[in-house]
DNA sequence: ATATAGTTAAACTATATAGTTAAACCATAA
DNA sequence: TTATGGTTTAACTATATAGTTTAACTATAT
């Protein structure tokens, strides 16, 4: 019985990993239950034995991914360190995470925009306003010096995130549109460079801000 | 015969518009030929009579959209005006276009990442390198003064575009994650604000750049 | 050894959808 | 008037896929 339960978990995990990979690659609509089963090395019956339906399996995959993403983000921005250091740390960490899951951004963005309910429950549980207020409180002096008001915070936050996330969402577009621009041929090294570029770009913009 | 041809064009256009709307809203995989026919006010037989298959119809919609998008972008950046003005103009124009087609970015990005062939032919015909070189030539003085080398250009270009396009791709994510942050409740006015914010952000960053 | 939980195999149902066909309909140009 | 080309209707085929069922198999705990 004890061993059986352990096997249980292993299988569940195999399924979870397979589903994550397939959903992330193909999206919900184009993913096939058979393919997920194959990828997990089990058969379709067992897939439905563990997760009653495609929707249920999808949610089981999607929501933790989503939460993990945000928790990571929030944890960095909640740190009590100077703003400049925080920006550097954010780009270093977030870009590294995404380099390991390059298809995650386009997957999450697309699925949310086609099924907003999926994330509603998560969204409501996120301490978004607390984050904004915390950031604003921690960095009050710096932000004030740069002329950033509370009203500017959403613009600033979206801006910071854009620089890291957009290139992943636009990866294949870049690959094709900019394929003839030599410097971008290798996406990985482009993103490595981008860590420092983005950080210094944001800091420079803030330091030289006109209201 | 003459009148027939004109009717022909009208129907083709009705189909084209309907297909554009449905594909943009649902994506290729989830779009239904029946729904497109309904939306166009015709029946499925006629749909196949004009466009032999779903793939063909999709390409007929997708490729012009893509090209239109890039032509507009390129035309702004090719203008021979000061860099600061160009940045302002870009954000004003591009954000206005996207406000009229808010689902276009996520649609294009997703479909390209799931079927890169779709755009390969377009991509190859785009004067990307010329654009980079033209920008670099037109703004040589300003860029040099700011310490932007040719090698930095891709980072800079992606950065500029990110700030305008990412919020559209992340629109529903923002809607949910930031729903409790009062300042963002109205996406439209958020993007209106963003025109000036982005422009001044980029200019400030460049003027204060450390190499 | 036996019962049990996890697992497989294969056949099955139900449904959705792309695409086809053929006959009839209708406006218009010759 | 009549031939033509765009159009509708409705029935059709073919296929893909989610999900079900059932019987048999296997390892393990007791």
* More confident: A163 or A137: A163
Q: How confident is the model at residue A6 (pLDDT cuts 50, 70, 90)?
A: very low
**Substitution target from B71, B105, B178, B196 for chain A, most A beta carbons within 10 A:** B178
**Residue B143 token pair:** 């860029």
Shortest Cα distance, chain B CAs vs residue A126, angstroms: 7
* Predicted confidence (pLDDT) per residue in B65-99, tens digit: 888 888 888 889 889 999 999 999 999 999 999 99
Decide if A160 contacts A90 (C-beta within 8 A): yes
Whether B136 contacts A83, CB under 8 Å: no
- Number of neighbours of residue A41 by Cβ within 10 angstroms: 10
Residues of A in contact with B30 (CB under 8 A): 29, 114
Chain D footprint positions (protein CB, under 7 Å): 5-11, 17-22, 28-30
Q: Please give the DSSP secondary-structure letter assigned to residue A179.
A: T
Picking from B3, B27, B181, the residue whose alpha carbon sits closest to that of residue A106 is: B27
- Answer yes or no: do A166 and B167 touch at CB < 8 A: no
Measure A8 CA to nearest chain B CA, in Å.
34
Identify all chain B residues contacting A113, using CB atoms and an 8 Å cutoff: 103, 106, 171-173
CA of A44 to C1' of C9 (A): 11
Asked which of A131-135, A177-181, B81-85, B92-96 is least confident by mean pLDDT, the reply is A177-181
Tokens of A6: 């352990």
Encode pLDDT of B43-70 as tens digits.
999 999 999 999 999 999 998 888 888 8
Protein residue closest to C21, using CA and C1':
B45
Nearest CA in chain A to B132: A181
- State residue A2's pLDDT score: 29
Tell me the pTM. 0.90
pLDDT digit string (tens) for B111-138?
A: 999 987 777 777 777 777 777 778 878 8
3-state DSSP helix/strand/coil % of chain A, to nearest 5:
85, 0, 15
Measured CA to CA, the distance from residue B80 to residue A55 in angstroms comes to 53
Checking if the pLDDT of B6 tops 70, the result is no
Contact B170 A158 (CB under 8 A): yes
Handedness of CA B26, B27, B29, B33 (dihedral sign): positive
């Amino acid at each position: 019985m004890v061993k059986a339960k352990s096997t249980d978990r292993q299988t569940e995990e195999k399924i979870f990993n397979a589903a994550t990979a397939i959903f992330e690659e193909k999206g919900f609509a184009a993913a096939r239950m058979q393919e997920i089963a194959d990828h997990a090395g089990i058969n379709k019956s067992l897939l439905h034995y563990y997760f009653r339906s495609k929707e249920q399996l999808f949610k089981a995959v999607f929501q933790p991914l989503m939460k993990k993403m945000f928790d990571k983000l929030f944890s960095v921005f909640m740190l009590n360190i100077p703003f400049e250091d925080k920006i550097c740390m954010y780009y270093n960490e977030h870009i590294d995470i995404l380099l390991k899951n390059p298809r995650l951004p386009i997957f999450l963005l697309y699925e949310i925009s086609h099924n907003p309910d999926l994330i509603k429950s998560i969204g409501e549980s996120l301490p978004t306003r607390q984050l904004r207020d915390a950031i604003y409180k921690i960095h009050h002096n710096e932000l004030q010096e740069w002329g950033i008001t509370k009203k500017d915070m959403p613009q600033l936050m979206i801006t910071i995130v854009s620089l890291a996330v957009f290139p992943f969402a636009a990866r294949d577009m870049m690959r094709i549109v900019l394929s003839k621009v030599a410097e971008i041929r290798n996406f990985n090294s482009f993103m490595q460079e981008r860590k420092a570029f983005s950080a210094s770009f944001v800091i420079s913009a803030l330091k030289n801000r006109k209201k």
